[in-house]
Structure 1
Amino acid sequence: MKKWGLCIWLILFCAGCSSTEAMNIADSPLRQVHLYPLTIDRYFFPRDVNVLAIGDSLTEGVGDNDDQGGYVSRLQKKMLQHKGIRAVTVTNLGKRGLRLSQLDDVVETHPQAVKEADIIFITIGGNDVMKIVRSHLFDLSYSLFEREQKTFVKRLDRLMATIRTWNEDATIVLIGLYNPFSSSLQAIPEIDDVIDLWNNGSKEVISRYDHTIFVDVKDLFDNRDDVLYSDQFHPNELGYELIATRVYEQLQKEKTWLGRIEQ
């Protein structure tokens, strides 16, 4: 009987404690717990980047005695230093002697490379200028270059439209012309103005399209023979390094290009 009494007493005691505990919990103010969203660094998961390079001998890397692939390979190494990039795959379709009118065929015969590209680098126009020089060596004039420039920008606009039919989102980087003719074309004292005219026209064309960057490199070559190959036309190793650095600096400023890759 004593055992039963002890059990009953224990049950009543526990019930009383539970009731007291419940009353205490009910009577005490609720403590607010603040939960903050977990933030992960945007570069925590580095991405792979597909690069397509199209254009003339500058894209091919002619004049690079170090055989490092001109500005494209140097730029690839710089891009790999970015903590948001894990790998950079490059498809280089540059070919010596190409003019703008021939780039449409390059794009149309490599649609998959265009579709898969995150960034498209273009160098073009030097051979278009040279064609004018060779065809009119004895009657060169500013008005002649001015007339041909209008045709050039129309073709550039068509090229941009062709690229965008295959790839709407890739960042397109057009590298401007520089002037290697300062000493050789004394018959055209306005040759600097000619280069500026063509660059400004190209810049205006690509500005009509989203996700585009124009990189001016003319000042890197002005009155400098030390950045040119022995043919006094193509960049040498230093010239390509300067181009690669300028392009990468421009990409750093235009941060949205990497943001689209990260989406």
Structure 2
Amino acid sequence: MSNGGYKTDKKATIIAFLLLIITVGVIVSGVIKDSKREKDNEKIAYAYEKKQLGKEKSNKIQVKRNKEQDMKNIGRGKTLKYIAIGDSVTAGYSASSQDNFYVNKIGARVTANMGFQVQQNNMGKRGAVISDAINNINEINSYAPDIVTIEYGTNDSNINNNISTNIFENELNTLIDDLTIKVKRTPTIILMTTWNVNYGEKYDEVINRVGQNRKIPVLDLKPIWTDKTNMGPEGNRDYYGVSDDFNPNDKGMNSIANAVYEKLQPILYEKNK
């Protein structure tokens, strides 16, 4: 092979090598640019997402504030009639004053937090069973209540009264029918389970079942009465004379009122917004 051919091959090799380097450089440069572009796009997307999340968070906060403001004023200029039917727990035994009855505390909360004026009628009676409410249904309905709390089962479940769970369930449904269907009204009803009796579990099952079937909120009182600081002590002066170690004291009454109000508030809001 001549020197001229060797030089030509060498030159071609060098050119090819240079072209390869240039090609690799272009590819690497493109990859770097693409990577930078992706990172820039990610930064832009992140900033946008952060901005949108910030707006969403801000909007949620504003919506919450607006709802809270609406909640405080939703009842302005409106009156609600609240009737409480039940036994000694509803009547207020072992509370130090009428202001500490859970019934009165519920009314006070509805007024303070939602603006409604509440007219209360406490028909709680010591030793009462659910048939007592049925027998007094005309008096209850004549009040035309907007809110009704029903607290029975404690004395019904007592073996001395001999009221079976089947009868109790029938009577509870009858009472609800009498308060609603028969008078063509739709008051807000809150059911409560039995108070401070371990033998009331079967009756609690009935109350929960009726509540579920009829879409009526049920307040489980057991977590309150199993906390013994919510009752007694026996022998203190209370509104009726001397407290016992069975009925809720002022702390227990307050716990019941808080729990009822938590169930009541969203219903009243939806009905009046």
Shorter-normalised TM range: 0.5 to 0.7
Contact map agreement 1:157 1:206 (CA 8 A) in 2: no
2:270 alignment counterpart: 259
Deviations 1:10-30 (A, max 9, x none): xxxxxxxxxxxxxxxxxxxxx
1:248 alignment counterpart: 261
| Structure 1 pair 88–45 and aligned structure 2 pair: CA distance change class (3 A) | closer
Residue 167 of structure 1 deviates from its aligned partner by 4.7
Rounded to whole Å, the distance in 2 between the matches of 1:45 and 1:152 is 36
Contact map agreement 2:81 2:146 (CA 8 A) in 1: yes
Aligned with 1:161 (options 171, 177, 191): 177
**What is the one-letter code of the residue matched to 2:222?**
K
Other structure's SS at 1:64 match: coil
1:103-142 matched pairs, under 5 angstroms:
103-113=133-143, 116-130=144-158, 132=159, 134=160
Contact map agreement 1:178 1:219 (CA 8 A) in 2: no
Contact map agreement 1:52 1:121 (CA 8 A) in 2: yes
Rounded to whole Å, the distance in 2 between the matches of 1:92 and 1:81 is 20
**Structure 1 segments of 4 or more deviating over 6 A?**
none
Tell me if 1:152 matches 2:168.
Answer: yes
| Structure 1 pair 167–237 and aligned structure 2 pair: CA distance change class (3 A) | farther
Tell me if 1:217 matches 2:217.
Answer: no
Other structure's SS at 1:128 match: coil
Residue 159 of structure 1 deviates from its aligned partner by 0.9
Contact map agreement 1:54 1:92 (CA 8 A) in 2: yes
Higher alpha-carbon Rg: 2
Rounded to whole Å, the distance in 2 between the matches of 1:64 and 1:173 is 21
1:16 alignment counterpart: none
Contact map agreement 2:84 2:90 (CA 8 A) in 1: yes
Other structure's SS at 2:202 match: helix
How does the TM-score come out when normalised to structure 2? 0.63
2:195 alignment counterpart: 178
How does the TM-score come out when normalised to structure 1? 0.65
| Structure 1 pair 45–148 and aligned structure 2 pair: CA distance change class (3 A) | closer
**What is the one-letter code of the residue matched to 1:225?**
K
Deviations 1:34-68 (A, max 9, x none): xxxxx997546622211111121122111112332
Rounded to whole Å, the distance in 2 between the matches of 1:173 and 1:226 is 24
**What is the one-letter code of the residue matched to 1:199?**
D
| Structure 1 pair 45–234 and aligned structure 2 pair: CA distance change class (3 A) | closer
Q: Where do 5+ consecutive residues of structure 2 fail to align?
A: 1-65, 235-243
Rounded to whole Å, the distance in 2 between the matches of 1:244 and 1:45 is 19
